[in-house]
Chain A
């Protein structure tokens, strides 16, 4: 019933919506704590010390959480920025090549995130 190209758009939108929720609910507190209060020394934060940061990063649940936190919003960003380009007068951002670049970019970020999470600190249950 729905054309294949339109089905693709349905999936883009679905990923966009998921990413939007994750970004809205999770990102502000990370920016506040890790980007502002931590560096200013107002509160202790896990990533201020090597020991605490590595201990937390080894936890498989934390790895899974970080994957969701970082990877999923990129599907939201990719979608928004592609549409923003169209709005600002770049109709080329509509085409299949642009779709491949933007959503492919989000897939790439996902893969890199998985790779970083699996290779930097070994999984431990400490």
Chain B
């Protein structure tokens, strides 16, 4: 089929001129079955309208920067195939629950602060000097946290989370999953430094286990599980007689 076409409706918003975002329709050639939504955006940018703004980088589901709402669902646009939507029009909007900067670009400051607040690095009570050798881990110890270390910070889970949508003070899925990734790491001793953030009122207790974060996560991280397990562990540490109540 030589002239197969696909309709893309993309959000346009120029903060200097527009009062609110609007959808603009583009009809572009659907030349190749393996085309993804990001390819369509790139086509528009290079052939139709060079002013369209959006983030992307790797084009292979690694960098986590191309997250947008595709027909209402948060997706990595480099991983959303046009053939799954065609012949219906594909509506591409900026990620839900974040302030809009321009077109398809959202402001991710809030997420960056949250990420930093859970101290996503290995914390030792006493640093071992470099000459002291490496921290060894068994495969079992790595399996404990591996799943939660797959996160690429694409923020799809925040866009899917109604709790975050209602209250953006909520620490949210990815940050909690990453906190758990370090708390479960046998080399880490930073739990007590992270607890005041993850077990605070705007931390895990805010979550009501909608579970949508885990459905949309492109990396199988299962942040919903991380949050509920954090609730359970924190509670057990507190209510069991031999728990530590720091």
A→B interface (CB under 8 Å): 1-3, 5-7, 9-10, 12-14, 17, 83, 86-87, 89, 91
Contacts and interface: CB of A to CB of B under 8 A. Distances in A.
A12 B163 CA distance: 18
A2 B199 contact: yes
A1 B235 contact: no
B67 interface: no
Given A3-B196, A86-B166, A87-B163, 5 more contacts: A2-B196, A2-B234, A6-B200, A89-B166, A91-B166
Interface of B: 162-163, 166-167, 192, 195-196, 199-201, 203, 205, 208, 231-232, 234-235, 238-239, 246
10 contacts: A3-B196, A3-B200, A3-B201, A6-B205, A9-B205, A10-B199, A10-B238, A13-B231, A87-B163, A91-B166
Q: Which of B166, B192, B195 has the most chain A CB atoms closer than 10 A to its own CB?
A: B166
A6 B208 contact: no
A9 B201 contact: yes
A33 to B, nearest CB: 30
A13 B195 contact: no
B205 A10 contact: yes
B192 A14 contact: no
**Chain A interface, >50% SS class:** helix
A16 to B, nearest CB: 10
Q: Can you list the 6 inter-chain pairs with the closest CB atoms, starting with the nearest?
A: A9-B205, A1-B246, A83-B208, A6-B200, A14-B235, A2-B199
Given A10-B238, A87-B166, A1 B205 contact: no
A13 B232 CA distance: 9
Nearest to B200: A6
Contact of A1 (B166, B196, B201, B208): B196
Given A13-B235, A14-B239, A1 B192 contact: yes
Contacts, number: 44
A10 B234 contact: yes
Contacts of B239: 14
B208 A2 contact: no
A6 B203 contact: yes
A116 to B, nearest CB: 29
A10 to B, nearest CB: 6
A5 B201 CA distance: 7
A2 B235 contact: no
Q: Which of B201, B203, B246 has the most chain A CB atoms closer than 10 A to its own CB?
A: B201
Contacts of A6: 199-201, 203, 205
Nearest to A80: B208
B161 to A, nearest CB: 12
B7 to A, nearest CB: 34
Nearest to B209: A83
Q: Which of B195, B232, B234 has the most chain A CB atoms closer than 10 A to its own CB?
A: B234
B200 A2 contact: yes
B192 to A, nearest CB: 6
